[in-house]
Amino acid sequence: MRRALVVFLVPLLLGAPPARAADTVVAETLDNGLRVILLEDHRSPIVSSQVWYRVGSRNERRGATGIAHFLEHMMFKGTPTHGRGQFARIVEQNGGQDNAFTSQDVTSYFVNIAADKLDLVIELEADRMHNLLLDPKEIESERQVVIEERRTRTEDDPGGFLGEEVASIAFKAHPYGSPIIGWQEDIARITPEEIRAFYRSYYVPNNAMVVAVGDFRAGEVLERIKRRFGGIPRGAAPPPVLTVEPPPNGERRVVVRKQAELPIVYLAYHVPNQRSNDAAPLEVLSTILSGGRASRLYRYLVYERRLALEAGGDYSYFSIDPNLFWFWATAMPGQTPETLEKELLAQVERLKTEPVTDEELRRAKNQIEAAFVFQEDSIHRRASLLARFEVIGGYAQKDQFLAKIRAVTAADLVRVAGSWFPEDKKNVGILLPKP
């Protein structure tokens, strides 16, 4: 113990510089279109390496929903160089962790590992970007895994089931109305040829970005990425998503019966994406409504009135296209969905006429800023934030986010509530428990 303390103190006594989190991003687009974003962070000898593809359920056509998520599963099924299951096995054998997710707009793959293993990750990711096997037998086997995932996360989850139903009526034209995991019938039908065509169209360097944060020298890592990814040929430009959701003409409503313990009520309104000046006020509004136990909906519906078991609101700031602002509540035993809907709508109307208090506004801004700043403590989250901002217009927007949040006023919140939560154009979902 004593020796360890001496070893620890020597660098300090000798004036060695402390480990630091760098702020200078190194970014470059390779000749084949691959976007590379690197940030040195020398606080720990680890690295988060992430590959983001600009494809999600938003890019799917009717009849082939869920194909982006299906392909995410297949990305772990091997290449001629690294066979079935080898990617995850190699990462784990070298002390790393890997995972992936598919969203409406992107599919992301990440590895968190010791910094001296970064070359290994670069090799593995470049290999599966261009050489995925997509064996028909593996596709059939994984199909059952995806179907089971849909059952557990949607079919057997009352909240997930109702959210899927509301999204499907809220969007008549735009693919945001389809579930990310896909409709059951599509998952069962999708062919290996369709998955291969999807892979060839979207898993190309000019539709991807490599983001890494950690204990490395950015210039050296950039050269390694160029050597390994630079030889992958640029693909044809993926087909753009041109669909624009037409404005709603009136209220839309869905009532479903499902095995569940309690009724659930969802309200959803069409709102703009982050390109709008109303994006920051909407982000603040969602925190005021559902940012912890002091938030408005929790305090009023759960704590004071005891009408709901849980309640909240949500806005998708990083959505590429205009999306939905959600309000929701799960009824307490003995309460009716009619009462919950009425009270939720009363809170929506209150936002249009009554400015939030200074305390509510200050608390929401502080919560957003604290959560944003605390993400800098994690190299994984630092990398993810850079990628998310890059997707919506450029990683440099990250440095402007907090200024936009700080500038929001109580009057802004009244204005956006009045503009985007019209009584006659809401989307309502009610889940009634089956007897």
> So which residues are the catalytic ones?
72
Is the dihedral angle over the CA atoms 140, 130, 214, 405 positive or is it negative? Answer: negative
Widest Cα–Cα separation across the chain: 74
What DSSP string runs through 101-168? Answer: EE-SS-EEEEEEEEGGGHHHHHHHHHHHHH-----HHHHHHHHHHHHHHHIIIIIT-HHHHHHHHHHH
User: Exposed, middle or buried: residue 169 (CB in 10 Å: 0-12, 13-18, 19+)?
Assistant: middle
**Angle at the Cα of 176 (from 175 to 177), degrees rounded to 5?**
85
Q: What is the C-alpha to C-alpha distance for residues 288 and 359, in angstroms, rounded to an integer? A: 10
Strand ranges across the sheet with 35-41: 21-29, 35-41, 208-214, 46-53, 107-114, 97-102
How does DSSP classify residue 422?
Answer: -
Question: Alpha carbon 298 to chain centroid distance?
Answer: 24
How does DSSP classify residue 189?
Answer: H
